[in-house]
Amino acid sequence: MSKKSLHKTQIRLASIAATVLCLGTSLAAQTGTDPVYLAGAERVHVGGLMRETAQRMAVASCFLDAGIEVDTYSAQITDGVADYDSYLVALTEGDPALGIDLAEENRKLTSTIYSVTSQWERFRDAAVGRLNGEGPSDGTDYVSRHNLNMMHTSKYLLREIIAVYAIPPALLQSDAFTLDVVTRQPAIANQISKEACGLITGNTVMGSRSRFDKSVARYEASLSALINGFESLGVSPPPNDEVKSALQAIAADWDSLKGDLAQVGTVTDHALALQIDQQFAAINAKFDAVIPAYIEDSKSGL
């Protein structure tokens, strides 16, 4: 073989090798065997925590406006700022403590995270400002007016995470959607608590009767779907009997709480708002305890 022919052959072989490598990389991504996809469930969880945290800060702001347990709720705002910042870092750069070992590589998702960060920075600055006595404290401040936008922004990011990372066998669509619903419950709980606080304390920006009623109905329907499964909507049954028992215990707590929720709008007792929030805090802690089981179960096919 001439040197010219040998050179051409080497070029063709190099081209074929590159093509095979690209196809292999693409196939790995499509089948979820690329290591970056193995933390998909954890990324969904972190996205859910961001959604929850945005509303937790709003709850705290409402109580702060009403002068209820000021030190406690000021600390919750401070913690929320630190937590949300850490979640953004985890999604961008990775955080082994949250089960995310690798930095984000998907350009579209990186762009979405950047967009969320831009909105968060203004929300964060306003939250810190109110702690320092800056701005109005009558429910018309930026945090009060834009907390739902922040929650929806976090929800959109979560949808993008699921779109990128719900790739079998690393993460099934049904597991991703079920995780979305599980992590959504604490966020809805915080929204209900915030709306209840607003309605009870007369904060019309924080409290809306229609939002309150819709959130209560959504919470109940989602809890039922988690306990019993709702496969036609993509919600899987509990991964094991232990989780099902835990969810049933949460349902019992929820049934007790509904008596207090029924009084919202009929009384102006600040103690009722505080009692509702404290009960939700206990329920949310129980949800936090079962979420790892859903993450573990999502990896059973690996």
Q: Which amino acid is at 175?
A: D
Give the DSSP per-residue string, 194-262.
Answer: HHHHHHHHT-TTT--HHHHHHHHHHHHHHHHHHHH-BGGGTBPPPSSHHHHHHHHHHHHHHHHHHHHHT
DSSP H or E segment with residue 272: helix 270-298
pLDDT digits (tens, 9 = 90+) for 63-81: 998 999 999 999 999 999 9
Give the DSSP per-residue string, 100-128.
Answer: B-S----HHHHHHHHHHHHHHHHHHHHHH
DSSP state at residue 263: T
Taking residue 224's Cβ as centre, other Cβ atoms within 10 Å add up to 14
pLDDT tens, N- to C-terminus, the chain (302 residues) = 554 444 544 444 344 333 333 333 333 445 555 777 889 999 999 999 999 999 999 999 999 989 999 999 999 999 999 999 999 999 999 999 999 999 999 999 999 999 999 999 999 999 998 888 876 666 668 888 899 999 889 889 999 999 999 988 889 999 999 999 999 999 999 999 999 999 999 999 999 999 999 999 999 999 999 999 998 888 999 999 999 999 999 999 999 999 999 999 898 899 999 999 999 999 999 999 999 999 999 998 76
- Distance, in Å, from the CA atom of 302 to the CA atom of 299, rounded to the nearest integer, reads 6
Output the pTM of the full model: 0.86
pLDDT at residue 1, rounded to an integer: 53
SS3 261: helix
pLDDT digits (tens, 9 = 90+) for 88-133: 999 999 999 999 999 999 999 999 999 999 999 999 999 998 888 8
Question: Omega into 169 within 30° of 0, i.e. cis?
Answer: yes
pLDDT digits (tens, 9 = 90+) for 204-226: 999 999 999 999 999 999 999 99
SS3 100: strand
